[in-house]
């Protein structure tokens, strides 16, 4: 497929901070079937908003502290997202729990990236948890977003071995490298219509994804 800009699927990326995954998505979009047409942050003045501005992508700050409750905040997000005729929502470090109304509205069209090998360690502090459990491996999961926090069907995972010298910081850095290598490709698969969610099961090319795709980094030849 040779994606021309007219055929590209409009995507919104939701962030709360640095936006390194947003940058990876921006960098990949020229060779993809998606076009990021909106970036939303629930926090004002975060670095990710500058990355969007530099790429000339429309931004919206929807400060959650100005809303009475989650429902009103999510309703405002729906209003803005739907105004932009968005077809795919990509959560990229968006640090808000979403209401069922929101997850239902975009069911099958919304992805998240989570820094653990789900179903292990949903929620926060995943690197700390993996170290405390003395896990031998750790990684990331890209999944469809459903009402269950970090609980939707997993599409892809990438793994790394934990070494005795690893720290929360070293794991975070290593996993982010893998995040940037994986997330844009999965967003592209969804934009191409090759991924779907039916009755809480993920499908790739109309076949049940019975286990997550495993990302294999290309072997690095050192000699
Ligand atoms: C990522 O590491 C992702 O796993 C988690 O939030 C982090 C966001 O980082 N969901 P960034 O803002 O994309 O740099």
The pLDDT tens digits of the residues spanning 46-56 come to 999 999 999 99
Span 1-27, mean pLDDT? 88
Residue to probe by mutation, ligand 1, list 24, 145, 176, most atoms within 8 Å of CB: 176
Residue 196 has pLDDT above 60, yes or no: yes
* In the chain, % of residues over pLDDT 70: 95
- Helical segments of the chain, H only: 20-28, 47-54, 70-83, 100-105, 126-132, 168-191
Q: Which two tokens stand for residue 22?
A: 């947003």
Catalytic residues: 114
Span 17-40, mean pLDDT? 98
Average pLDDT, the chain: 95
Residue 222 has pLDDT above 80, yes or no: no
Name the CATH architecture for the domain at 1-106.
3-Layer(aba) Sandwich (3.40)
Same fold, 1-106 and 116-140+155-223: yes
Q: Which pLDDT tens digit goes with each residue over 91-113? A: 999 999 999 999 999 999 999 99
Q: Are residues 47 and 19 in contact, defined by beta-carbon separation less than 8 angstroms?
A: yes
Q: How far apart are CA 111 and CA 9, in angstroms?
A: 14
Q: How far apart are CA 67 and CA 214, in angstroms?
A: 40
Span 166-186, mean pLDDT? 98
Superfamily name with CATH number, domain 116-140+155-223: Formyl transferase, N-terminal domain (3.40.50.170)
Instruction: Decide whether any atom of ligand 1 lies within 6 Å of the 115 Cβ.
Output: yes
Check residue 56 and give its pLDDT. 98
Q: Which pLDDT tens digit goes with each residue over 105-149? A: 999 999 999 999 999 999 999 999 999 999 999 999 999 999 999
Q: Which pLDDT tens digit goes with each residue over 7-18? A: 899 999 999 999
Check residue 3 and give its pLDDT. 54
CA of 140 to the centre of ligand 1 (A): 11
Residue bearing tokens 């179903």: 119
Residue 2 has pLDDT above 70, yes or no: no
Span 68-86, mean pLDDT? 98
Instruction: Decide whether any atom of ligand 1 lies within 6 Å of the 43 Cβ.
Output: no
Instruction: Decide whether any atom of ligand 1 lies within 6 Å of the 74 Cβ.
Output: no
Span 11-34, mean pLDDT? 98
Number of alpha carbons in the 13 Å side-chain half-sphere of residue 91 = 26
Enter the pTM of the model: 0.95
Check residue 223 and give its pLDDT. 39
Residue bearing tokens 């491996």: 137
Q: Which two tokens stand for residue 36?
A: 């990021």
Domain range list for the chain: 1-106, 116-140+155-223
- CA dihedral sign of residues 160, 166, 171, 177: negative
The b-or-e profile of 180-217 (16+ CB within 10 A means b, else e) is bbbbbebbbbbbeeebbbeeeebeeeeeebeebbebee
Identify the residue whose C-alpha is closest to ligand 1 atom 12. 19
Q: Are residues 104 and 61 in contact, defined by beta-carbon separation less than 8 angstroms?
A: no
Q: How far apart are CA 147 and CA 155, in angstroms?
A: 17
Residue 220 has pLDDT above 70, yes or no: no
Instruction: Decide whether any atom of ligand 1 lies within 6 Å of the 179 Cβ.
Output: yes
**Cα angle vertex 35, ends 194, 178, to 5°?**
70
* Furthest C-alpha separation in the chain: 60
Residue bearing tokens 């990876």: 24
Residue bearing tokens 């469809």: 144
Q: How far apart are CA 16 and CA 187, in angstroms?
A: 19
221 falls in which pLDDT band (50, 70, 90)?
Answer: very low
């Amino acid at each position: 497929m040779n994606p021309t800009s007219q055929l590209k699927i409009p995507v919104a990326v939701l962030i709360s901070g640095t936006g390194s995954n947003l940058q990876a998505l921006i960098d990949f979009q020229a060779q993809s079937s998606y076009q990021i047409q909106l970036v939303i942050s629930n926090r004002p003045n975060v670095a990710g908003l500058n990355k969007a501005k530099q790429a000339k992508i429309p931004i919206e700050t929807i400060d959650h502290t100005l809303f009475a409750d989650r429902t009103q905040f999510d309703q405002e997000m729906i209003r803005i997202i739907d105004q932009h005729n968005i077809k795919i929502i990509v959560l990229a470090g968006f640090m808000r729990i979403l209401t069922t109304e929101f997850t239902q509205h975009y069911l099958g069209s919304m992805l998240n990236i989570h820094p653990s090998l789900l179903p292990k360690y949903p929620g926060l502090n995943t690197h700390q948890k993996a170290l405390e459990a003395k896990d031998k491996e750790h990684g990331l999961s890209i999944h469809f977003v459903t009402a269950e926090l970090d609980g939707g069907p997993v599409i892809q995972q990438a793994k790394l071995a934990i070494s005795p010298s690893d720290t929360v910081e070293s794991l975070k850095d290593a996993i982010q490298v893998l995040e940037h290598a994986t997330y844009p490709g999965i967003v592209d698969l969804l934009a191409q219509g090759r991924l779907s969610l039916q009755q809480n099961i993920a499908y790739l090319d109309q076949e049940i994804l019975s286990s997550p795709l495993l990302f294999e980094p290309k072997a690095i030849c050192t000699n």
